[in-house]
A and B are shown apart, each in its own frame.
Chain A
Amino acid sequence: MRRYVASRLAQAALVVLLSLTAVFGMVRLGGDPVLLFLPMDIQAKDVNAIRQQLGFNDPLAVQYARFMGGALRGDFGQSLRYRRDALGLVLERLPATLTLAATSIALTLVIAVPLGLLTAVRRDTLVDHVGSVAMVLGQATPGFWLGLMLIYLFAVHLRWLPTGGSGSLAQLVMPSVVLAAFFSARVARLTRSAVLDVLGEEYIKTARAKGLGEGRVVGKHTLRNAAIPIVTLAGLEAGQLLGGAVITETIFAWPGLGRLTVQALLNRDFPVVMAAVSFTSIVYTLMNLAVDLAYGWLDPRIRVREP
């Protein structure tokens, strides 16, 4: 186990370093990087001064070393718009995104796991067909469209909920439902196939043959064994929540990390973009690492098999 943990940690550290390199590289995609770092109302003669000030006249290797050195210490420079530490802005928005993500994950587990279990146990019945159609629909419906339609129905038409913003519980409802819809569909499909796999196993036949009630067969023998793939894949999917939040937060004016990223992109506030994208990537990598370690701990076969 110790070797497995060490190798995973080293791998994650390498991915973090390479991801930061990728963020540095991405900013070079558009040609002259200074154009990305200019305030909107800049005079042409000041461009060179800013280029000098930001160090874009230095050799690329020097710039890279400076960026990596800063990034590893959490310094991505100052926001061009707010004149404040870029990473500080990102961290300030984190609680809002975490609240949204946690609510969505809770909703997903409450809806998706029972739905997946039910459709698997009642395979090829009406429940299964209706449930499966719902899953496919949930996966195909774009979140931002679902968001608009919910706003129209519940905020404009019925006036039950506010259109956006944050602070009250009512404002949390629609964004978390939109974010949960897509993941529920995926997790439910996953649960269904995991439960179906387990139901085909010999030990389920044994459990039934020795006269256990269906409740115990499903509740104890099936669900426990199906839990490993469900938890793993749900963990991996949770990382995608960070991507989904980009759009959901924008529609509902939710003041989280995703909305900050979109606004920074729109304002061409690139120090904030780099801080937010790097931060998201690191969180995502750490989540994958946690899932891998949990998986290795739950299932000894994984740690032995070398990647």
Chain B
Amino acid sequence: MSMWEYANPKRFMGWTAPVLPWAFGAAGICLSVGLIWGFFFTPDDFRQGSTVKIIYLHVPSALMAINAWIMMLVASLIWLVRRHHVSALAAKAAAPVGVAMTLIALATGAIWGQPMWGTYWAWDPRLTSFLILFLFYLGYMALWAAIDDPDTAADLTSVLCMVGSVFALLSRYAVNFWNQGLHQGASLSLDKEKNVADVFYQPLLFAIAGFVLLFFALVLLRTRTEIRSRRLRALLRKEG
């Protein structure tokens, strides 16, 4: 069977129904382990004190804010090339989840920034590109809501998604491109010297896995809702 057949709405509803509880369950377990371990059982950082505990929320949410947009970009490209409705609906379903992740990253970053930098906000390359990404998310959702014809909405939001991808990439690499501003470089690195210490790294991995799984579960759930909504509209149109 071709992988594209999984994107058939009926087949998608079939395979996602049993996966959904497992995805939410695994997300809950990973999030609980990561956050409880990080909050209760890790030491303070010698420079940042107890604010280092914010890393278990800030890094995974920032990671998912960018990756959610990348997932939306891939789904949008699939829609534009192959016209699979489920891919367009999956992109639409992912946007509110991406907004929530971006909001958490911005909020926890501001709360963390005040004691460390002496300010909640600075027009730093990474912070600014993240704020623009947040605005792109809102614009993307507004565009879906503003257009009645779902195929036209999917086409136009796909184009917007491609434009916004520039800022998703800038959010990720802003620190490397400009090498200035308050925000530090990536917390996670294959270079052991640059990576966070193991004592923080291990619970952080659980928190990241939790955020990834929660994103996956929420996108499945919300895509199912979008498919039902589309079917409902079609049935109501037939009824006149």
User: Do A and B belong to a common assembly?
Assistant: no
B→A interface (CB under 8 Å): none
A→B interface (CB under 8 Å): none
